[in-house]
Amino acid sequence: MAPNCIACGMPMETREQYAGGDTRNAYCIHCARPDGSMQSYAEKLANYSGWLISTQSIDPVVTREQAATILGRLPAWASVRS
């Protein structure tokens, strides 16, 4: 069973899905900055909200609340309050 990204929950099944292709990273390519470091909560919330809007056509305010709820359940953001 593939490990899930600590920041978005995506299963990481191949080396390419890990940030920087490094399987020691607990986060995926979608949660990494260009330098390989993990995005901040604010960056991830904005990116995840945008992805939800583009894939589910939900109102942006509702989408941001939904994204915050989902991210709040993940290990990387357990102590973050939006």
30: DSSP letter: G
Q: What is the 3-state secondary structure (H, E, C) of 13-37?
A: CCHHHEHHHCCCCCCEHHHECCCCC
Distance CA 74, CA 5 (A): 9
Q: Where are the domains of the chain?
A: 15-77
CB atoms under 10 Å from CB of 33, counted, come to: 11
Q: What is the pTM of this model?
A: 0.85
Compute CA distances 71 → 3, 21, 76, whole Å. Answer: 17, 23, 8
- pLDDT score for 79: 85
pLDDT one-digit tens code per residue, 8-47: 999 999 999 999 999 999 999 999 999 999 999 999 999 9
